[in-house]
Every structure is written in C-alpha cells, then in structure tokens.
Amino acid sequence: QITLKESGPTLVKPTQTLTLTCTFSGFSLSTSGVGVGWIRQPPGKALEWLALIYWNDDKRYSPSLKSRLTITKDTSKNQVVLTMTNMDPVDTATYYCAPIHWNDCFDYWGQGTLVTVSS
Amino acid sequence: DIQMTQSPSSLSASVGDRVTITCRASQGIRNDLGWYQQKPGKAPKRLIYAASSLQSGVPSRFSGSGSGTEFTLTISSLQPEDFATYYCLQHNSYPLTFGPGTKVDIK
C-alpha cells in the first residue's frame, strides 16, 4: 500500500524559506525509475507542478520557480524535501507530493499541507 | 513548454447525463496524459492514465480517449458523487503541466 504525507510549517513570513517534507511508504526511491514530485494549488486555483527527483538523483524543476526551489531525497528515511526561498503571499497554497514510476505519473497523492504566507 | 487547455471551464449537468470534457495540448504528447478528479478540500484522484486506461477501482462510467494533441474524458452517466473539478496532466515533457480544470456542478 502506497501512502505519502506532507509536513512542514503552516505559516511562513514573506522572504522566509519554506521547507516541506514528504514522507512515504510502499515504495522505495532506490528502485530504478521511481521518483517523487511536488505539486501545489493556491486556494481556488489550478494545480501547478513544482519539482521532481528520481532514484538516480536526477532533478527537474518548474522553469518559472527553478531559482527558488531545491529538491533532495533521503532514501534511507523514505523522505523527499522541498525548499522554496523568498516566500511571498502568492505562494500561499496547498502543497502535495506524489510518486512517479517510469511513465506512470502521480497515481497516488498525499493529503496535502496548506502553507500560508503572511506577516 | 507544453500548454494544456480544457473545455469547457465549467458545466452544469444532471444526474444521468453524459458528460464530455476535452483537453488539448499545444504540441503532441503521444498518450502521456492523465485525468484527475478533485473534490473540495481533497487531494486529486487519478481516474485515467495513459490517456485511455482506467485506474484500478474507478467506476467504468469514466473513460478516456485521444492521442497526440486532443483528449477527452467521458462520464457516461453522471452520478451525484461525480460533481467535482477535473484536471488533465501531461507528463510527456518537462515542465509537467496541468490543464486549468473543468468544474462539473449540479444543474
């Protein structure tokens, strides 16, 4: 059974750095073809893909946010961490993580975590 | 970047209606497309993968078709639990892109 859970602060101040952790079970980031991605959704708006990291440490980022994002993995802990610098109120959103296995993309999702950016 | 558009952006339908949602890609994406259903306050749930394959556990009233640049999600007989927002996702190339969504509500 595959499960994912996002964790991190619910409130951050403008200009601060956000660190989110995705803790998963039911698959391993040491398996060929496996990756974990982050997606966000501002309140009332559409889904937006942010970043992906693969078993071989290949990393992909949304071009519009690439300068602010860093994605890393801890295979032994079954965790993927996303950091986003210089947070702004427009970054207020629910942040989700989801797995990818070769070409099978985002079949399971975490419950999401709402992050509010406000002073 | 591949842009995804969806039509309509919203629709009102009755229980039992046949509903079709279209997703178009700005360039060919083979069949690297998924359809997701999202209800308020919940995470998206994948309904269709590889454009036309039904996700395990998803009712057979949902179906997907298309390849290349045009795709459709069809609900053959709308049920009360189907009122939600539907998104397509292309994963053919980076950046991965979602469609803007189609909200299906009660007529």
Q: How does pLDDT run across A36-47, given as a tens digit for each residue? A: 999 999 999 999
Compare CB distances from A96 to B43, B46, B97 and report the shortest one's residue.
Answer: B43
What's the pLDDT at B97?
Answer: 98
Whether residue B107 is predicted with pLDDT greater than 90 in this model: the reply is no
Confidence of residue B106 (pLDDT cuts 50, 70, 90): confident
**Percentage of residues in chain B having pLDDT higher than 70:** 100
- A88 close to A18: Cβ distance less than 8 angstroms: no
Chain A residues with CB-CB distance to B94 below 8 A:
60
Compare CB distances from A46 to B50, B95, B98 and report the shortest one's residue.
Answer: B98
Whether residue A63 is predicted with pLDDT greater than 90 in this model: the reply is yes
Residue A63, min C-alpha distance to chain B (Å): 7
Residue B98, min C-alpha distance to chain A (Å): 6
Assess whether the previous peptide bond of B95 is cis (omega < 30° from 0). yes
| Segment B46-57 mean pLDDT | 98
What's the pLDDT at B69?
Answer: 98
SS3 A98: strand
**A95 in contact with B at a CB cutoff of 8 Å?**
no
Asked if the Cβ–Cβ distance from A107 to B46 is below 8 Å, we say: yes
What's the pLDDT at B46?
Answer: 98
The percent helix, strand, coil of chain B (3-state, each to 5) is 5, 50, 50
SS3 A113: strand
| Segment B21-47 mean pLDDT | 98
Asked if the Cβ–Cβ distance from A46 to B95 is below 8 Å, we say: no
On average, the pLDDT of chain A sits at 97
pLDDT in tens, A87-103: 999 999 999 999 999 98
Contacts with A, B 9-68, CB within 8 Å: 32, 34, 36, 38, 43-46, 49-50, 55
- A15 close to A91: Cβ distance less than 8 angstroms: no
| Segment A3-20 mean pLDDT | 98
Whether residue B102 is predicted with pLDDT greater than 90 in this model: the reply is yes
Q: What are the two backbone dihedrals, phi and then psi, of residue A76, each rounded to the nearest 5 degrees?
A: -65, -30
**A109 in contact with B at a CB cutoff of 8 Å?**
yes
Residue B4, min C-alpha distance to chain A (Å): 12
Residue A116, min C-alpha distance to chain B (Å): 15
